[in-house]
Amino acid sequence: MAKNKGARIIITLRCVNCLKTSNNHEKTNISLKNLKNKISKKVDYTTTKNRRNTPDRLGLKKYCPKCNLHTLHKEIK
């Protein structure tokens, strides 16, 4: 019998740079159509983590197609 199988959980990772730029879209001169295309291009990564070994939020460097480079992706709720 396995003991305490609930240690691993599934988490979602989202780009930190995209979160910053999506909030500040009013400051840049981007057309509304171009802005909708960039927002719809959002990519989230899913992975698992052991909540006993890493109780705080996880941050990994992953490729973001919206930013077109490797950026920091942090765990979201």
pLDDT in tens, 37-67: 555 567 899 999 999 999 999 999 999 998 8
What is the amino acid identity at position 8?
R
CATH assignment of the domain containing 57: 2.20.28.120
Q: Say how many domains are in the chain.
A: 1
Q: What is the pLDDT of residue 2?
A: 60
Domain of 48, in residue numbers: 8-19+41-76
> Is 63 among the domain residues?
yes
> Is 35 among the domain residues?
no
> Is 13 among the domain residues?
yes
> Is 27 among the domain residues?
no
- Which of the four pLDDT bands, split at 50, 70 and 90, describes residue 18? confident
